[in-house]
Structure 1
Amino acid sequence: MERVDKKIIQLLSKGYRTPEISNHFIEKGITPSSVSSVEKRIKAIKKVYGAKTLFHLAVLVTKSK
């Protein structure tokens, strides 16, 4: 898992929504930072974990720690 993916998971766990993650990435100079790119990364992360929803992803990520 890439560093950006880990950051996305961290921000999701803090309650950030996709546009807020995008804005955070823009402010910090992290790329890719567009909303579309963040959505694609989240979709890929969900696929890796076998999650159907963001809530399901959160449960799976929490269990794997």
Structure 2
Amino acid sequence: MVEKACAQDDRLRDVRHSTFYSDSASDAPMFCWATQAMAVNPDRQLRKLAAERGWPILEAA
């Protein structure tokens, strides 16, 4: 889905030069497209995935 959107919209072609923020493991496929992944107040699954992949974990108030 992301590949198709990037191919159809020139504004999205530089998606690999971006930071993706999320709190849910359900967004894991998007993390792979971004240059930098940031887990913010992550759910249990995302916390584990972030630790395994070395992604920063941000705990916001």
Instruction: Specify which structure has the higher proportion of helix.
Output: 1
TM-score for both structures, normalised by structure 2: 0.33
Instruction: Specify which structure has the higher proportion of strand.
Output: 2
Higher Rg of the two aligned structures: 2
TM-score for both structures, normalised by structure 1: 0.31
